[in-house]
């Protein structure tokens, strides 16, 4: 087994000693290992340092005993030794496929099936060890994963360099009392640099979990504010040749300025535009520099209204062109040193990846919402009835639900040889279980099957159609589950309409009579739809709608809210219907959604309302 080192170099041994790390757990190094395991989805991750006679593991996650207990291995069991010797990354997708590595003791004894490692270096370029990701099964490491591992190795190297520097500074302070003032200054710079290294580590962790642009901006603002103490942090994104600010919803001076100058052209004379256009960092130390730089009057006005004295504009690196610009400003003259610029540039890289991810999620959500909206019904025009519907998505944009409504005319048919002709309109409100694109797809299937069931059983009651839907759902293994109310409205004499309905586990419809009283039609609340439940006998109920009646069907997102009783929500809805007879149906639905559902509903809401006009309006 080859355990040679690079040519003997006392500087490397000194650097290893000055890290202060040994074969004991180190919280900072363990944090890097946890981050590697999470970002690369690897079961094992290591911070490995190679000394002259062994490998020590101050940071690890997922490694079993005895290695996890001793935090050390012999050099014969160190793949990291190869990285230290060569100075190059080592990436193995399948160790069993490599003749050189398949019998390596580290591969055999540590059960290494896939391995990826990046060198860890000190300030002089000595290879101290490696940051490693290990899998117990073969895997193809992606380019993005290797880029992430390289970024984390750079941050870990910075941490090691700072520790080395801190230890040496402390030693210098102890042996050179006359240089204490200079040592104190270095220690302060080291403390600040260490904090900024931790800032980047936090950025890599916190921005990984963001899924919306609002989250990205909030996280970036919190990260930067805690360390660099700016007075303003902004994000500007490139969209179709223009720049758009991510505006602040808070009613504060910065938010007002952002909304006033929300969009402008990429070729306009703004520092943010120039940074994105030229892919270069723009630093402005004072207002005179801004004016002398030839920037527009609008840029100077925005600068003044934000109260800025100095700022840095850093492009957000994209795959082909910058995604936009990260802006950090101070209300005092702030001299940016080399370390601060490097920190801000690295932060812009993490921010850019988070922005790309958020934009991708936004596009997926937009497509899902468009798909869902496209499947909602166009309401029929029916003589003697007013019909309106409304769909309100949940406040959390990533939720795409299965709430739906439907209304369609029923062909006229005689129910028997001596019976009257039946026709009218079918009305349905439903909620398919789930909050994803699958729920929206199932909703479309259920709606179509229920329509087909009505048309295949002309003259039958709604319960028959619901039973047919259940049978098809089970027989075809569609897997839809949820609740619904399905009804038929049939015209009677003198402007009256008869409602015949069946309820499969859904909140009860509300019926406002001409005298203002509101009844809950909950006598027929039966078992919900579910493919694992044996279809039960469905009950049909009937009631009469005189002229001037209003029928409201709704989904549970309106009344089933966290911390509130569902019956109280239904009662509030009934009270609102009673108190606002003058509202048109669209006005009524909008007002109920606002007042009962609230400005930020936790679930999506669907409504279907039917009104029989009173006699003098017919």
Same domain, 382 and 362: no
In terms of domains, do 281 and 331 share one?
Answer: yes
Helix axes 180-206, 143-175, angle to 10 degrees: 160
pLDDT at 401: 67
DSSP string, 305-337: HTT-SEEEEEEE--SSS--EEEEEEESS-----
CATH number at residue 51: 3.30.450.40
The reply to whether 2 falls in a domain is no
Note whether 50 and 121 are same-domain residues: yes
| Residue 110, C-beta contacts closer than 8 angstroms, at least 6 positions apart | 63, 67, 73, 77, 134
Same domain for 171 and 22: yes
Task: Indicate whether 204 belongs to any domain.
Answer: no
Q: Among 336, 366, 396, where does a domain finish?
A: 366
Per-residue confidence (pLDDT) for residue 485, from 0 to 100: 94
CB 467 within 8 A of CB 535: yes
Report, as ranges of residue numbers, the positions in the chain whose pLDDT lies below 70. 1-9, 176-211, 248-252, 362-376, 395-401, 414-422, 435-437, 523-525, 615-618
Task: Tell me, yes or no, whether 162 and 245 share the same domain.
Answer: no
Q: What's the total number of domains in the chain?
A: 3
Instruction: Please tell me whether residues 353 and 389 are part of one structural domain.
Output: no
Which of 17, 362, 356 has the alpha carbon at shortest distance from 163?
17
- Contact in structure between 530 and 481 (CB atoms under 8 Å): yes
Same domain, 163 and 222: no
Look at residue 255 in the predicted model and tell me its pLDDT: 82
Q: Is residue 3 part of a domain?
A: no
* Domain-located, residue 196: no
Mean model confidence pLDDT for the chain: 85
Helix and strand element counts for the chain (H, E): 17, 25
What is the DSSP-derived secondary structure letter of residue 176? -
Residue 526 lies in a domain: yes
Q: Are residues 237 and 166 in the same domain?
A: no
pLDDT one-digit tens code per residue, 378-427: 899 998 899 999 988 775 555 566 788 999 999 887 655 554 556 799 99
- Residues 355, 466, single domain; the answer is no
Tell me whether residue 391 is in a domain.
Answer: yes
Residue 205: its pLDDT value, please? 65
CATH classification at residue 600: 3.60.40.10
pLDDT of residue 538: 87
| Residue 499 placed within a domain | yes
Other CB atoms within a 10 A radius of the CB of residue 283 amount to: 17
Residue 162 and residue 284 share a domain: no
Q: What is the pLDDT of residue 496?
A: 92
Separation CA 505–CA 527 (nearest Å):
5
Please say which residue of 340, 366, 392 terminates a domain. Answer: 366
In angstroms, rounded to a whole number, what is the distance separating the alpha carbons of residues 75 and 375?
64
Indicate if 388 and 491 belong to the same structural domain.
yes
**Same-domain pairing of 382 and 253:** no
Strand-pair partners of 130: 48, 119
Considering the domain boundaries, does residue 324 fall inside one?
yes
Hey, what long-range contacts does 161-170 have (CB within 8 A, 24 or more apart)?
161/122, 161/123, 162/190, 162/193, 162/194, 162/197, 163/18, 163/19, 163/20, 163/21, 164/15, 164/18, 164/19, 164/122, 164/123, 165/123, 165/190, 166/190, 166/194, 167/18, 167/19, 167/20, 168/18
Tell which of 331, 346, 366 closes a domain: 366
| Domain region containing 127 | 10-187
């Amino acid at each position: 087994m080859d355990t040679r080192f690079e040519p003997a170099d006392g500087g490397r041994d000194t650097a290893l000693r000055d890290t202060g790390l040994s074969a004991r757990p180190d919280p900072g190094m363990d944090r890097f290992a946890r981050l590697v395991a999470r970002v690369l989805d690897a079961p094992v991750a290591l911070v490995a340092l190679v000394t002259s006679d062994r490998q020590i593991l101050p940071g690890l996650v997922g490694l079993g005993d005895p290695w996890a207990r001793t935090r050390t291995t012999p050099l014969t069991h160190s793949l990291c030794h190869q990285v230290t010797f060569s100075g190059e990354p080592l990436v193995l997708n399948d160790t069993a496929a490599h003749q050189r590595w398949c019998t390596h003791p580290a591969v055999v004894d540590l059960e290494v099936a896939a391995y990826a490692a990046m060198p860890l270096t000190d300030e002089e370029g000595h290879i101290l060890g490696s940051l490693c990701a290990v899998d117990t099964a073969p895997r193809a490491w992606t380019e993005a994963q290797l880029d992430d591992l390289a970024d984390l190795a750079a941050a870990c190297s910075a941490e090691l360099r700072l520790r080395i520097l801190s230890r040496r500074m402390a030693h210098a302070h102890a042996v050179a009392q006359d240089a204490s003032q200079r040592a104190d200054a270095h220690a302060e710079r080291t403390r600040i640099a260490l904090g900024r290294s931790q800032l980047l580590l936090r950025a890599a962790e916190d921005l990984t979990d963001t899924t919306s642009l609002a989250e990205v901006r909030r996280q970036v603002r919190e990260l930067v504010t805690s360390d660099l103490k700016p007075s303003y942090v902004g994000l500007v994104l490139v969209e179709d040749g223009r720049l758009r600010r991510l505006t602040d919803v808070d009613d504060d001076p910065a938010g007002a300025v952002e909304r006033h100058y929300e969009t402008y052209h990429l070729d306009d004379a703004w520092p943010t535009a120039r940074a994105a256009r030229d892919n270069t960092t723009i630093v402005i130390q004072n207002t005179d520099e801004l004016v002398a730089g030839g920037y527009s009057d609008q840029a100077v006005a925005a600068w003044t209204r934000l109260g800025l004295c100095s700022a840095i504009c850093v492009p957000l690196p994209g795959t082909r062109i910058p995604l936009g610009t990260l802006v950090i400003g101070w209300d005092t003259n702030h001299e940016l040193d080399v370390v601060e610029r490097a920190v801000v540039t690295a932060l812009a890289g993490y921010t850019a990846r988070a922005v790309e991810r958020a934009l991708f999620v936004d596009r997926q959500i937009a497509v899902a919402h468009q798909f869902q909206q496209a499947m909602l019904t166009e309401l029929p025009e029916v003589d003697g009835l007013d019909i309106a519907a409304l769909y309100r998505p949940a406040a959390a944009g990533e939720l795409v639900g299965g709430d739906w409504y439907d209304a369609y005319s029923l062909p006229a048919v005689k129910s028997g040889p001596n019976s009257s002709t039946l026709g009218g309109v079918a009305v349905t409100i439903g909620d398919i279980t789930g909050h994803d694109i699958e729920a929206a797809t199932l909703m479309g299937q259920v709606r179509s099957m229920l329509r087909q069931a009505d048309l295949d059983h002309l003259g039958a009651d709604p319960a028959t159609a619901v039973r047919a839907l259940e049978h098809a759902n089970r027989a075809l293994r569609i897997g839809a589950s949820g609740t619904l109310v399905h009804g038929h409205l049939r015209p009677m004499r003198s402007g009256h309409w008869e409602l015949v309905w069946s309820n499969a586990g859904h909140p009860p419809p509300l019926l406002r009579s001409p005298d203002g009283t509101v009844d809950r039609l909950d006598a027929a609340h039966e078992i919900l739809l579910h493919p694992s439940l044996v279809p039960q006998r469905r009950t049909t109920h009937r009631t009469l709608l005189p002229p001037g009646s209003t029928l409201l069907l709704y989904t549970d997102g309106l009344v089933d809210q966290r911390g509130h009783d569902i019956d109280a929500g239904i009662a509030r809805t009934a009270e609102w219907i009673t108190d606002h007879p003058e509202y048109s149906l669209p006005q009524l639905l909008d007002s109920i959604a606002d007042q009962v559902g609230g400005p930020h509903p936790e679930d999506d809401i669907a409504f279907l309302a039917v009104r029989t006009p009173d006699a003098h309006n017919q």
